[in-house]
Amino acid sequence: MLKVRILFSALIDCRQTLDRNGALFKFMCTMSEAPTDQQTAKLLKRTNEQSGESAEGDNKRLKVDQEQTENERKYPKKKVALLLAYSGKGYYGMQRNPGNSQFRTIEDDLVSALVKSGCIPGNHGDEMKKMSFQRCARTDKGVSAAGQVVSLKLWLIEDIVEKINEHLPPQIRVLGLKRVTQGFNSKNNCDARTYSYMLPTVAFSPKDYDAGNVSSFRLETETLQRVNRLFSLYKGTHNFHNFTSQKAPNDPSARRYITEMSCGEPFIRNDHEFAVINVRGQSFMLHQIRKMIGLVIAVIKGYAQEKVIERSWKEEKVDVPKAPGLGLVLEMVHFDRYNKRFGGDGLHERLEWDHEADAIKAFKEAYIYPTIVETEIEEGSMVSWMSTLPIHDFEATAAETRNSNDQKQVPFDYLFYLNFDHIQP
């Protein structure tokens, strides 16, 4: 009788645990098949194990909660802007894609570093809205950045920049941090963006130039002057519907404002001549910069007449070539209106990074420029793309060009190039 009372006392004590995992039914069915002493011992052992596991899980959760509470008490959670620099090679762009872990992005590594350094709670890594995360520009696959800015809320721990960088790969660096207003949004508050495009100057060679002699090409002063005169045509507000995909001529969003565009003086890297094109605009559409550059190259090489540039802003569809993605870099983002309104209020800093200029330059020299130069020399993406220019018909509309191209034999290397083309601005 005593054994029966002990058995049912144990059953009552662990009823909830057994009900959750279905063990109650199993226990009742097997109780008559085993000696009472053995059954009681098994039941008590299982109860203790389950209670131990539950207690261990509760302790872990309690420890995490305590650490977060301590951080919240010790460090204020504030809205900040982070200045980022990164080499995009090997990454599928800037923006994180939850659920697609095989496509690694810059934000994947950044968020992981924020969690490991103790700047944000662990659960914020899965739900970025909890930290009000926003990037200024979404760079695409392979594109690098020297002056990307993201805004978010985090704990202002000691030596925060150094601790974040400890958990980042060398090709991604946080170069600066500034406090901003609670309502600041790096994307919405951005007035303009400056991109650069580094390319071998052989892109501006005559169309009959021997592509096998790339390293010996040198850009003449007269050609550079003509290049810059053509780039200057882009300045102002124009309808760039031909410089992106799926934009109708009457779509207001196709009108974009360009303030600067020019090509700098050539320089030598690894015995090859390169130059850097800089373009600043209010905002850019998908592939817009690459197509702006591609069309000027087509004109310089003699495949198209200069008038095609102004014709591309009209309603008719024009076949505009898209230059390779390699070489595109987000140089800087601008917050002129924000600086004017809050930069002098005595509470917030101006979002300017003059003090970080040396660090930005050093990062580009160490990670961005070498990657572009070495990849271009090894893979020859510009030369391969130049061989596709004869396929374009710059005098016809895009529809006429497609019909004409259907009747042409397209080189195999061109098809191969298209299959591995990157999607970038």
Say how far residue 150 (Cα) sits from the centre of its chain: 11
Nearest to 328 by CA among 94, 58, 38, 70: 94
Q: What single string gives the DSSP state of each residue in 166-179? A: HTS-TTEEEEEEEE
User: Residue 85: left if φ>0, alpha if ψ -120 to 50, beta else—which one?
Assistant: beta
Q: What is the pLDDT of residue 262?
A: 98
Say how far apart CA 219 and CA 390 lie, in whole Å: 22
Residues 6+ apart with CB under 8 A from 168: 109, 110, 113, 174
Residue by residue, DSSP assigns 225-238 as HHHHHHHHTT-EEE
Give percent of the chain above pLDDT 70: 74
Secondary structure of residue 352 in the 3-state scheme: coil
**For the segment 41-80, what is each residue's pLDDT rounded down to a tens digit?**
555 556 555 555 555 555 545 554 555 555 555 677 899 9
Alpha-carbon span 235 to 255, nearest angstrom: 12
> Do residues 96 and 181 touch, judged by C-beta distance below 8 A?
no
Beta bridge partners of 255: 239
Give the list of residues 6+ apart from residue 396 with CB closer than 8 angstroms, or none: 319, 404
Are 158 and 71 within 8 A, CB to CB? no
Average pLDDT on 359-378 reads 96
Q: What is the pLDDT of residue 73?
A: 52
Locate 206 and state its tokens: 């005559």
260-277 pLDDT, tens digit each: 999 999 999 999 999 999
Catalytic residue among 37, 108, 126, 140: 140
Of the given ranges (49-53, 199-203, 303-307, 419-423), which has the lowest mean pLDDT?
Answer: 419-423
Angle of helix 36-74 versus helix 2-13 axis, rounded to 10: 30
pLDDT range class, residue 211, cuts 50, 70, 90: confident
Max CA pair span of the chain: 109
Confirm whether residue 195 is marked as ligand binding: yes
Q: How confident is the model at residue 423 (pLDDT cuts 50, 70, 90)?
A: very low
**pLDDT tens string 131-179:** 999 999 888 888 999 999 999 999 999 999 999 999 999 999 999 999 9
CA distances 267 to 78, 127, 200, 276, 315, Å, are: 44, 45, 10, 9, 39
Domains along the sequence of the chain with CATH: 2-71 (no CATH), 76-179 (3.30.70.580), 194-336+360-419 (3.30.70.660)
**pLDDT for res 23:** 44
With 0-12 / 13-18 / 19 or more C-beta atoms within 10 angstroms meaning exposed / middle / buried, residue 346 is: exposed
Encoded amino acid at 289, one letter = I
Single-letter amino acid, residue 392 = H
SS3 string, 262-314, reads EECCCEEECCEEEEEEEEEECCCCCCHHHHHHHHHHHHHHCCCCCHHHHHCCC
Query: Residue 123 has what pLDDT?
Result: 80
For residue 139, the SS3 value is: coil
Q: Annotated catalytic, 37?
A: no
